[in-house]
Structure 1
Amino acid sequence: MSIDVFQDWFSANGGYVDKEYVGLTEFAETEGGRGMVALKDIPADHILFSIPRSLVLSTHTSPLPSLFGADAWKERQLDKGWGGLILCMMWEGAQADRQWKTYLDSLPTTFSTPMFWSENEIAELAGTAVVDKIGQQDAEEEYNTKILPAIQSRSDLFPLDQLDTHFSLTAFHMNGSRVLSRSFNVEDDGSDADSDAGEEANTSTDAMDVDVPEAPAEEPAPANEDHSDDDDDSDDEEAAEVGMVPMADMLNARYGSENAKLYHEPTVLKMISTRAIKAGEQVWNTYGDPPNGDLLRRYGHVDVVDASADDTNAAGSPNPADIVELRADVVVRSAIERAGGSTAEAAAKERIDWWLDEGGDDVFLLDTSCALPTLLISLIRLLRLAPVDYERATAKGKLPKGKLKVGQDDDAADVMRVVKDALDRKATEYAGGADPELDARLLVAESPLPQRQRCAVIVRLGEKRILKKTLDRVGEMMTACEATKTAGGKATRTGKDSKRKGGPEETRGNGKKARR
């Protein structure tokens, strides 16, 4: 569908665009596809466009939940997660005379996200956290156990002759990808109106946030977004609902480039410039600056890297938000092998159960600072405790400390050996080998890589560089341990180097809470 048809529909349904200042355009697919550009210099705090709340497609605004029956909707758990919204989108798209038909027809029907990759293409992502988060099997299970039975129970709403088209598994995947890549968390308008089917509608932190201005609309409040733990879908949040927001979902995202933000008012949502935008520049609505792995999983693109850069913190290097997810089971395996014997493995099982009960992490996040998470150190120490010390710890209900001080802690060298083993083990999981420069050379080779492979190489390059630098840091710490041992147990490093931020003696907490 052409941009003009979509814009005509948007305007006819109460949407407003300041056409003097902004316009939609077609970019190359590698540059985000459709997007919005400034037609003339735009000042900060300028309203670029607004969307009536009635034009937001959600389980509150679609009549399907009411037609299906509020009790039946909840009974089939369509009020949980994204299933209900996806079903509403499938149903709305099947109605020739419905309000959102033109909008839904304007949305993409094909995607570059790993959900739609072949096995060989996904193999290029081996070692990255993307593989475990694609969710294709979970999506198909939800469709077969929840969505399809609901569809089959109401042939009056879902005609049987449309099961293979509008209400098929393919349609479910397509609309699920639309939600994943384009939805927003739209907060309640503050009214007292009840919606039985939607009042418990859930939000996902994968959806884009809408800011609540504390100042009048002409003076937008600064952004106040919480994007922590963006990979987890919440089943408990009720302050906002996930919705499809026409026009707002046309804006592209790029790390550190945000120049517009969506604010909500009782009857409309407004996209407002957050800084001056020069004529010809693209309007960016960046939500949380996620790492390349998440960008690829959700949106099918990555932030461009300069393959020649050899510093993960340098300009033009891989996405500064990139992270490595080190699974706890990799750490446990390394600790058991260091301890040796079946006794260590049996003891580890009991300790891991206690660790999880006490809120320990099952994944540790390593970022470009290369600092070691405190809970990673705590877990290793827990696994190394003598039986009597473990009993004392459980009696007190207190996990071992996560701060590690080289030159002062007697167990520093032993802990570092386990960390190194775990990082080395993680490095072997990556496609293309552990050396990041092999991937860097692939990106500058004369023969360009296929687009999907290129994205996969960029994702793993960013992670491999973080892992290599972290291993280098661990090596420094182990060398410091040896120097301390040689010096008779006293720390030998002095001066600025011993105090530098993120130095070998430092650890920090940046893990991820365990879910059982």
Structure 2
Amino acid sequence: MTSEAKRPKVDDDTPLQNFLRWCDNVGVVLSPKVRVSKEGTVADYGMLAEDDIEVGDVLFSIPRSALLHQGTTNLSALLKREKVSLESSSGWVPLLLALLYEYTAPQSKWKSYLSLWTDFKMLDHPMFWSKEERDRLLTGTGIPEAVDKDLANIQKEYKDIVLPFMAKHADIWNPVTHTLELYMQLVAFVMAYSFQEPPEMEEDEEEDEKPPNPPMMVPMADMLNHVSKHNANLEFTPDTLKMVCVCPIKKGEEVFNTYGQMANWQLLHMYGFTQPYQDNADDTVDIPVANLHKAATKDGNQQLLKEMWEVLQDKGAFVFGKNGCLTDIELHGTLKVLCMSREEFVEFKDNDGWEDDEEDEEEINQAFSNGGLPGLTTKWKQLIHKAARLTIDGYRGTDRDKDLMEDKALLGGLSSRQRNALHVRYGQKTILDKVMELTKT
């Protein structure tokens, strides 16, 4: 079964042909070994190999002048001058204002590119679902909470920053045209199609010391679909961006990019599609630290656990993938705290945490892998097992998920939203079931 993906739906090839001509005019160079097509791809549009492609082959290159962001729009000088007033928690406001303008400007340089999206109905992010539908299909996955936060931030950003800015520059933006609805659609467009250039690192710098670069729209690169086992990567050079083959591609096969190591819940939340759960090697599930706390309160010293909770509650969640815990250091530390005696906990607090000579990270990694979980202490396994059970209990109305996954007729009768939600739920529950199996005592 192929993954569902997102691409603009059109009645004919006119928008695509206009886009390809535009690419020629702006200096996008497409290798003769590939072509953009809606036949033989996992979506309406994707990229196919016209010939065998070898590792290192450049599939296409894009000059930086063809990229669309706040630095290349005709309004770049204004957006740069007003940079301070456009600061926000997302950091996306300048790009979104550029898109609001370029998307509605008849003479936009990017008209042939943006015309691929005559509307944004193909973007089926959960933010466009009704709250009832999100709760019914996605409760327990973490997506409804993420969407509620997104919607609140988008509305606040538009009301507090964008509207006052548009009022100040009413000759360029108009709230009647540049509505909150269009703004929200463009947020989804940026979530689904934009790229971020990795920050330049000095020799002695850590990656998290550098703020992320703002997102940008990269024509042609966003035509490629995503799978976790991809065969092409986007490379950044000072003058151009290049899509480079990273493993052999046979003639007739699709060229796939990657959006990174994305679990299905992240793909659905940010991109509006999923991979079938068994195909997504990067699928994960979160076990909230609150569930580990609840598991501990069932048979522990309640006052002591309350004090421990005050220390631990900011950890959020523990992430499990198909091969074990991905946040093993954090889980290891939390379990150690929850299993302390009163005396040990007092000493822990007095020392402001752990001593420097803690256990070896590689040993911890192994201990919380699927191979190591059965060897944990009985108490630790019991806590993980109970927390996983509490997490599974948080899903709503999913008793038939196994039947739906195993019956092709039933699966085929689901809507795309129902099917995407099923991929998320079932993939997460499969990981949780494995965790429970490995920690059974």
Coarse TM-score class (shorter-chain normalised): 0.7 to 0.9
- In the alignment, which residue of structure 2 is the partner of 1:380? 335
- In the alignment, which residue of structure 2 is the partner of 1:465? 430
Please give the alpha-carbon distance, in whole angstroms, between the structure 2 residues aligned to 1:138 and 1:382. Answer: 35
Partners of 1:254 and 1:289 within 8 A in 2: no
- In the alignment, which residue of structure 2 is the partner of 1:484? none
Q: CA deviation at 1:281?
A: 1.1
Provide the secondary structure at the position in 1 that maps to 2:225: coil
- In the alignment, which residue of structure 2 is the partner of 1:363? 317
User: Given the alignment, which residue of 169, 172, 176 partners 1:157?
Assistant: 172
Q: In the TM superposition, what are the counterparts of 1:29-48 in structure 2 within 5 Å? A: 31-48=42-59
Partners of 2:232 and 2:246 within 8 A in 1: yes
- In the alignment, which residue of structure 1 is the partner of 2:225? 252
Q: Cα distance 1:290–1:27, how it changes in 2: closer, same or farther (>3 A)?
A: farther
Q: Cα distance 1:327–1:237, how it changes in 2: closer, same or farther (>3 A)?
A: same
Higher Cα Rg, which structure: 1
Q: CA deviation at 1:399?
A: 4.1
Q: In the TM superposition, what are the counterparts of 1:74-473 in structure 2 within 5 Å? A: 74-77=84-87, 81-107=91-117, 109-110=120-121, 111-122=123-134, 123-134=136-147, 135-158=150-173, 160=174, 163-165=175-177, 167-186=178-197, 237-238=210-211, 240-256=213-229, 258-305=230-277, 317-339=278-300, 341=302, 343-344=303-304, 346-352=306-312, 356=314, 361-371=315-325, 373-399=328-354, 412-433=377-398, 437-441=402-406, 444-445=409-410, 448-473=413-438
State TM-score, norm by structure 2.
0.82
User: More helix by proportion, 1 or 2?
Assistant: 2
Please give the alpha-carbon distance, in whole angstroms, between the structure 2 residues aligned to 1:76 and 1:457. Answer: 39
In the alignment, structure 1 segments of 5+ residues that lack a partner are 191-211, 213-225, 229-233, 306-316, 479-516
Please give the alpha-carbon distance, in whole angstroms, between the structure 2 residues aligned to 1:3 and 1:408. Answer: 57
Q: CA deviation at 1:53?
A: 0.5
Amino acid at match of 2:438: R
Q: Cα distance 1:149–1:443, how it changes in 2: closer, same or farther (>3 A)?
A: farther
Q: CA deviation at 1:254?
A: 1.3
Please give the alpha-carbon distance, in whole angstroms, between the structure 1 residues aligned to 2:340 and 2:34. Answer: 63
Please give the alpha-carbon distance, in whole angstroms, between the structure 2 residues aligned to 1:260 and 1:320. Answer: 17
Partners of 1:393 and 1:399 within 8 A in 2: yes
Deviations 1:121-176 (A, max 9, x none): 31211111222222223222222222222222221221x3xx232x1111111111
Partners of 2:267 and 2:273 within 8 A in 1: yes
Please give the alpha-carbon distance, in whole angstroms, between the structure 1 residues aligned to 2:89 and 2:403. Answer: 47
> More deviation in 59-68 or 49-58?
59-68
Deviations 1:294-347 (A, max 9, x none): 121222221135xxxxxxxxxxx3522111101111211222232264x34642
In the alignment, structure 2 segments of 5+ residues that lack a partner are 1-13
Aligned sequence identity (%): 25
Partners of 1:443 and 1:454 within 8 A in 2: no
> Which portions of structure 1, spanning 4 or more consecutive aligned residues, are displaced by more than 6 angstroms?
404-409
RMSD: 3.1
Amino acid at match of 1:141: K
Please give the alpha-carbon distance, in whole angstroms, between the structure 2 residues aligned to 1:434 and 1:67. Answer: 55
Provide the secondary structure at the position in 2 that maps to 1:261: strand
Q: CA deviation at 1:246?
A: 0.6
Deviations 1:170-198 (A, max 9, x none): 1111111111111112368x9xxxxxxxx
